């Protein structure tokens, strides 16, 4: 439908603060930008509380926090691209994100926030660099903010998860004898999703 009926008259505003700050990521996802400008999201804090595919692996989330701010960019994109973005962000099926809608200074926009807040998570070096490289081009980002993000401890080793979170939400509810089997199930599905998200026909179809 996006190819045959792109609906250029239907556009929305999306606030990016993670990997989507990097132009190469948007290009990979085939997200077309009609407008872009730096923006500060109030009453939110950037933390790595979104669980990833590995043990202690985390992605950025703009968690609610009165008096704090998150620096990023507002993008104007097609509504159809916004729907595809939901799949890239795991909101449409996996429900790992929720879409938060805000209206500030007359602009209505949305951003993604984790539905599962986990403490003590770490981003990979590649992921953290997406943010830091973008900050280097954004004049309004305070040096203290950049230094705080740059000081984030990174994930050095990609090890299998030791807790369930995405497919089995509460491992403690299962009988102790079955927990190793359930954890193995969770690990297998993590690998399947990671592979299909980045290397398979599914990824290609979402991009198209």
pLDDT along the chain (208 residues), means of 10: 73 97 90 95 96 92 96 96 89 85 95 93 96 95 97 94 78 85 82 66 59
Q: Which distant-in-sequence residues (6+ apart) come within 8 Å of 129 by Cβ?
A: none
The pLDDT, as a whole number, for residue 200 is 47
The pLDDT, as a whole number, for residue 129 is 97
Write out the DSSP string of 88-154.
Answer: HTT-SSS--EEEEEEEETTEEEEEEEESS--SS-B--HHHHHHHHHHHTT-TTS-HHHHHHHHTPPP
> Phi and psi dihedrals of 104, rounded to 5?
-135, 130
The pLDDT, as a whole number, for residue 201 is 54
Q: Which helix (H) or strand (E) holds 46?
A: strand 35-51
Tell me the pTM.
0.82
Q: Where are the domains of the chain?
A: 11-156, 160-208
Going from the C-alpha of 66 to that of each of 42, 53, 137, 152, 176, the distances in angstroms are 8, 30, 27, 22, 40
The pLDDT, as a whole number, for residue 197 is 63
The pLDDT, as a whole number, for residue 193 is 75
Correct CATH for 11-156 of 3.40.50.300, 3.10.490.10, 3.30.1490.440, 3.40.190.10: 3.10.490.10
The pLDDT, as a whole number, for residue 207 is 59
């Amino acid at each position: 439908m996006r190819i045959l009926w792109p609906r250029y008259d239907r556009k929305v505003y999306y606030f990016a603060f993670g990997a989507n700050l990097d132009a190469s990521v948007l290009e990979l996802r085939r997200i077309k930008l009609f407008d872009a400008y730096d923006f500060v999201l109030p009453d939110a804090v950037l933390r790595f509380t979104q669980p990833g595919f590995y043990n202690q692996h985390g992605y950025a989330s703009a968690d609610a926090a009165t008096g704090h701010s998150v620096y990023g960019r507002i993008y104007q994109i097609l509504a159809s691209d916004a729907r595809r973005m939901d799949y890239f962000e795991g909101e449409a099926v996996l429900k790992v994100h929720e879409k938060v809608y805000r209206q500030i200074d007359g602009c209505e926009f949305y951003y993604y926030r984790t539905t599962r807040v986990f403490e003590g998570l770490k981003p990979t070096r590649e992921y953290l660099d997406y943010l830091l490289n973008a900050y280097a081009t954004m004049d309004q980002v305070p040096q203290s903010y950049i230094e705080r993000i740059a000081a984030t401890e990174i994930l050095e080793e990609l090890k299998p998860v030791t807790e369930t979170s995405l497919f089995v939400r509460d491992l403690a509810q299962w009988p102790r004898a079955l927990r190793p089997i359930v954890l193995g199930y969770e690990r297998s599905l993590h690998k399947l999703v990671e592979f299909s998200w980045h290397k398979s026909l599914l990824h290609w179809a979402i991009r198209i």
